[in-house]
Amino acid sequence: MHASVKRIPAILVTLLVALMACGKSEPGGTAAPSGTDAAPSAASGEAVATYKGHTLTSGEVTKELERLPAPSRTYLAAPDRKRQFVENLVMNDLLFQEGQKQGFDRDAEIERQVDDLRKRLVVQRVMKQYQTPPTITDEMVKAQYDQNPALYSTTQIRASHILVKDEKEAKDILTQLRANPEKFADIAREKSADTTSAKKGGDLGMFGQGRMVPDFERVAFSLKQGEISDVVKTQYGYHIITVTERKEGEAKPFDQVKEQIRATMRNKGLQDQVQGHFEQLKKQADLKIDDEALARVAMPPPSAGTPVQSMGGH
């Protein structure tokens, strides 16, 4: 190691780990591919380092630097840090070769993780095809504003909800509530998947427009005090909502909220677009799930320190 570099700075250790995590890309894109003695081409540039019969070229170093975020590239501009970066590239390759000799590259768990990563990357690439948001015209925004005056005002409500994952269960609960609306809080405590609000009988507190997801909010603000909604579907599941208090406010000027409305409609349209594709894929695949068999699948116990997330409705 160079005499001026006594210790590897923490950021360079992180970079080394990141390089190791990234693995090998196509020849010419990383430091000297393991197991090959690739001769540098003109496009690769001049030799920067040699080791164990391998050559690391300036072109390969440049490609690795280009993969880093801008702050890291700025940090590595200093000569001693750039030199340490090259040493890290070489060390990454030497460690990989050492692992190959021990057979780690054929380890079943490593292969599983590589396959999982490949699958996630492919899914991400496919998902990008469905991330183009729909066009929301001024006319569409104005119509949304005119049709939902309560949503674009200073009105505040206090609402409670019951959240479940199954539509049939939600409908059964709604039937019970239609007959006995006074049991709303008790049923919320017993059955709501939103554990935070369930402890308070489903109470979400007082809130104004913009706090909840659009589908939930649209229904909640349309309810009169004491009224119970039909089943409302959101990305969280199936809700039953009741409003326990209303403080009527004044309408907000259209110009003040039009961009907010446009963004909400665009996000909702994108969500519907993606969900529509999901539903189409499931239909084409003739997906069937045996709920009885699924119920017999035992859940493994949570690992120590694993957080249990609240399934909130907002």
Which of residues 232, 249, 266 is at a domain's end? 249
User: Which of 21-25, 208-212, 241-245: highest mean pLDDT?
Assistant: 241-245
Which of residues 249, 275, 298 is at a domain's end? 249
pLDDT in tens, 109-119: 999 999 999 99
In a domain, 267, yes or no: no
Q: What's the angle, vertex CA 282, arms to CA 266 and CA 279, rounded to 5?
A: 25
pTM of the model: 0.55
Split at pLDDT 50, 70, 90, the class of 21 is very low
Query: What is residue 9's predicted lDDT score, i.e. its pLDDT?
Result: 47
Q: What's the angle, vertex CA 22, arms to CA 44 and CA 304, rounded to 5?
A: 165
Looking at the predicted structure, is the pLDDT value of residue 26 above 80? no
Domain of residue 200, CATH code: 3.10.50.40
Listed in sequence order, the residues at least 6 apart from 37 whose beta carbon sits closer than 8 Å to its beta carbon are 53, 54
- The more confident residue out of 43 and 160 is 160
In a domain, 309, yes or no: no
Distance of CA 36 to the CA centre of its chain: 39
Phi then psi dihedrals of residue 206, to 5 deg:
-90, 135
Split at pLDDT 50, 70, 90, the class of 148 is confident
Q: How many domains does the chain have?
A: 2
Mean pLDDT over the full length of the chain? 84
Looking at the predicted structure, is the pLDDT value of residue 81 above 90? yes
Query: What is residue 303's predicted lDDT score, i.e. its pLDDT?
Result: 63
Which domain covers residue 169, as residue numbers?
A: 154-249
Residue type present at position 304: A
